[in-house]
Amino acid sequence: MKLLNQSVKYLSLSILLIVSIWSVVFYISMLDEIEDRIDDGLANYKLLVIQKAAGDSTVVTKSTFDESNYAIQEISPAVALAMKDRYVDTLMYMQDEDDMEPVRMLTTAFQNNNRYYQLKVINSMVEEDDLIEDLFWSALWLYIILVVSIIIINNLVLQKLWTPFYSLLNQLQQFRLGKSKQLPQITTHTREFNDLKNAVNALLQHSVETYNQQKQFIENASHELQTPLAIATSKLELLLEKSNLSGTEAESISEVLQMLERMNKLNKSLLLLTKIENKQFFQNEPVNINTLARQCISNLEDFAAYKAVRIQLTEAAQTSIHINTSLASTVLLNLIKNAIIHNRAGGEVSIHITEHALTICNTGAATPLDAAHIFQRFYKADAAAKGTGLGLAIIKAICNLYGFTIRYNYNNQQHCFTLLFTGSA
Amino acid sequence: MLYLPGYSICITLFNLQARYSHFFPDFTGKMQAMKILIVEDEPELQKAIADSLAREHFVTETAGTFDVAMEKLGVYNYDCILLDIMLPGGDGLQLLQELKKTGKQENIIIISAKDSLDDKLAGLELGADDYLTKPFHIAELNARIKAVLRRKTLDGKNTIETANLQLNLTERQLLVNNQLVPLNRKEFDILNYFLLNKNRLITKNALAEHVWGDHIDQADNFDFIYYQIKNLRKKLQSCQAGVEIESIYGVGYKMIEI
């Protein structure tokens, strides 16, 4: 729910409560005031009637209300002396309304010429139902007007006030580490938003720096390793050429050379990954996947023959994509090479090219690979494997760079990698 | 004789050797020793390269900084320059530019720790003949140097001749005793590599990288190479070639003349 609607929700709820409480309190005090006024009027009227009765003896004979507002009855002195002024709300028939209407009635007693009388004075009251109804509608209208005004004010004023915030939010959503060059910017005089922007930008700046440092570190570390590797390799190769080595010595040297080679491969793979992630490959050109696949197969045929693996290529379409040639061959060579290495003797690799996809399936282990992890760096299903553990990570990075999709699945006892070229130009 | 301050006695000796080497025939008796300048700031790598090149009877000199390299290039002529791009005191590419300005015709092989296509293109555009990324195999460096040197002294034919073998690089053909011996692509590449590294040990790693490319893993210890070597050996034997491929301790191979 938007902040704007949230605030409207809470405001309308609290205003509803306030208006309701206010209406009740207002009603009670209003009613109280009205009764007070009527009671005063009745008390005054009572005095007037008593005064009049003192001068005019016919007054005391008026035993019914009829057209006037009082009625007098003679009562016994004992009753009269025990009587106190009593105000009650009662109902009385009103001619114009043709209904019983509420009236306020004062019952009192007075003495006139040594005779005692009971005097009832009445005054018509407001109808409580009507009062409540009127009050309810007024309160409701007040409430509606308040809520509508709040919504309008919120929309106009708050939306204007929150514009920098939404702008900042939008820019933050677009922000990508390593891709976005500019930090989010807003122009506002609101201190909170400026503080927020500054805090966010400080955090982003820090992240960007860390990210760059990390990238730079991998690149520098790999570069710095090249020279020592070169020295060690050259020296050992020269040492191997010395004629006075024994077989076991030579083998040990060769094993060290193998390890250096492995380090070198690892190093080069890391550099390649960094380069891909830094988007340092710009030279894209149309590459025919069919031709490239055939080249890769011919490149690996000796290896496949040695492993007694048959490679089959079926081409359902001629597919050309816009990509860096060396990256494209890295992807294909890696996939095909994996399919050969992780195969069994007498097994096969089938490569299928369609208009938008390339599928490479191979026979091999009877259990499927862990699809969730195989594309992670340094993930190895077999810890003793001699590979760098970066091959599939590199393929994944290249796919990400070009918007391709790479998928693994296992069916019919075949490990299949599918490369979808969708998203490419 | 020109003495430049800061030069070590060692370099001066090299200079002497370099300057007067043309008086002496090469050990092969065919041509005078080629002079190679190694521009590399890492002394250990300088030494390793120089050691390897000495085995090929090349005369080498070294320069560890941009300025020393500039001075040497200003005074002497070299047949080949191995140039590191990242040098103390300057950029190797800048050195290349200076060389081009003076119109010198040296063969230049860039040796760089940076496997960057931009640097490679820039280097080749500035007139470098080849680009080798560190770390490299001694055999690979050897082959590259010989390839550029041969291109320079081509005399119209691009052929390697050893014993009774003639390897025509343009036609990609092998003639033994003037008889054509058919070779497939890989066999040709292997033979070419062996001839460029005659009498030198080639490790399986170096061979695999040169012939099959960088992508081939060291899966199964490159045992698949053995089959190619076996086929090539058979072909060489059956046509009575004057060379043979020796296995060395199971770590690599060496081509020798019989």
Same domain, A11 and A31: yes
Please state the rounded mean pLDDT for residues A394-422: 91
Any CB–CB contact under 8 A between A307 and chain B? Answer: yes
Q: Total structural domains in chain A?
A: 3
Same domain, A220 and A347: no
Asked if residue A159 belongs to a domain, the reply is: no
Which stretch of DSSP H or E encloses residue A201?
Answer: helix A191-240
In contact, B210 and B189? CB cutoff 8 Å: yes
State the Cα–Cα distance between residues B234 and A74, nearest whole angstrom: 154
User: What pLDDT does B87 receive?
Assistant: 87
Q: pLDDT (tens digit, 9 = 90+) per residue, A123-143?
A: 888 777 788 888 889 989 999
User: What pLDDT does A274 receive?
Assistant: 84
Asked if residue A198 belongs to a domain, the reply is: no
In contact, A260 and B204? CB cutoff 8 Å: no
Same domain, A235 and A352: no
User: How large a percentage of chain B has pLDDT more than 90?
Assistant: 30
DSSP state of B169: T
Among residues A62, A57, A86, the alpha carbon closest in space to that of A72 is found at A62
Which stretch of DSSP H or E encloses residue A59?
Answer: none
Please state the rounded mean pLDDT for residues A360-369: 89
Higher pLDDT among residues B166 and A66, named by residue: B166
DSSP state of B25: B
User: What pLDDT does B119 receive?
Assistant: 73
Strands B80-84 and A320-323 turn out to be: unpaired
Choose among B48, B217, B251: nearest Cβ to A250. Answer: B251
Instruction: Give me the CATH topology for the region B159-257.
Output: Arc Repressor Mutant, subunit A (1.10.10)
ipTM greater than 0.90: no
Q: pLDDT (tens digit, 9 = 90+) per residue, A137-196?
A: 998 999 999 999 988 988 888 778 888 888 999 999 988 877 777 888 888 888 999 999
Q: pLDDT (tens digit, 9 = 90+) per residue, B240-251?
A: 989 999 988 778
What is the nearest CA distance from B156 to chain A, expressed in angstroms? 31
**pLDDT exceeds 60 at position A318:** yes
Same domain, A304 and A223: no
Strands A348-353 and A310-315 turn out to be: parallel
State the Cα–Cα distance between residues A187 and A348, nearest whole angstrom: 64
Contacts of B139 in chain A (CB under 8 A): 237
Same domain, A350 and A265: no
Q: pLDDT (tens digit, 9 = 90+) per residue, A95-134?
A: 777 778 888 899 998 888 888 888 889 888 877 778 888 8
| Residue in A with minimal Cα distance to B247 | A247
Same domain, A305 and A346: yes
Please state the rounded mean pLDDT for residues A28-42: 90
Intervals of CATH 1.10.10.10 along chain B: 159-257
User: What pLDDT does A100 receive?
Assistant: 82
Last residue of a domain, one of A277, A309, A325: A277
What is the nearest CA distance from A384 to chain B, expressed in angstroms? 12
The verdict on a CB contact (< 8 Å) between B206 and A237 is yes
Which stretch of DSSP H or E encloses residue A283?
Answer: none
Same domain, A265 and A312: no
* Candidates 3.30.70.260, 3.40.50.2300, 3.40.50.80, 3.40.50.740; CATH matching B9-152: 3.40.50.2300
Residue to substitute from B120, B134, B227, interface A, most A β-carbons within 10 A: B134
Among residues A362, A349, A347, the alpha carbon closest in space to that of A308 is found at A347
Same domain, A58 and A92: yes
Contacts of B227 in chain A (CB under 8 A): 302, 305-306
**pLDDT exceeds 90 at position B133:** no
Same domain, A88 and A107: yes
**pLDDT exceeds 70 at position A348:** yes
**pLDDT exceeds 90 at position A415:** yes
Last residue of a domain, one of A71, A102, A132: A132
Please state the rounded mean pLDDT for residues B173-188: 90
CATH number of the CATH domain containing A346: 3.30.565.10
State the Cα–Cα distance between residues A401 and A396, nearest whole angstrom: 9
One-letter amino acid for residue A240 of the chain: L
> Mean pLDDT over all residues of chain B?
80
Helices assigned H by DSSP within A241-314: 247-277, 289-306
The parent domain of residue A260 ranges over 208-277
Last residue of a domain, one of A105, A132, A159: A132
Q: Which two tokens stand for residue B19?
A: 């300057």
Q: pLDDT (tens digit, 9 = 90+) per residue, A239-271?
A: 988 878 888 888 888 889 888 888 888 888 888
Same domain, A406 and A298: yes
The verdict on a CB contact (< 8 Å) between B113 and A227 is yes
Confidence of residue A281 (pLDDT cuts 50, 70, 90): low
Contacts of A237 in chain B (CB under 8 A): 52, 137-139, 201, 203, 206
User: What pLDDT does A124 receive?
Assistant: 83
The verdict on a CB contact (< 8 Å) between A262 and B218 is yes
Choose among B137, B215, B221: nearest Cβ to A333. Answer: B215
Same domain, A368 and A404: yes
Same domain, A269 and A298: no
Asked if residue A236 belongs to a domain, the reply is: yes
Contacts of A268 in chain B (CB under 8 A): 115, 214
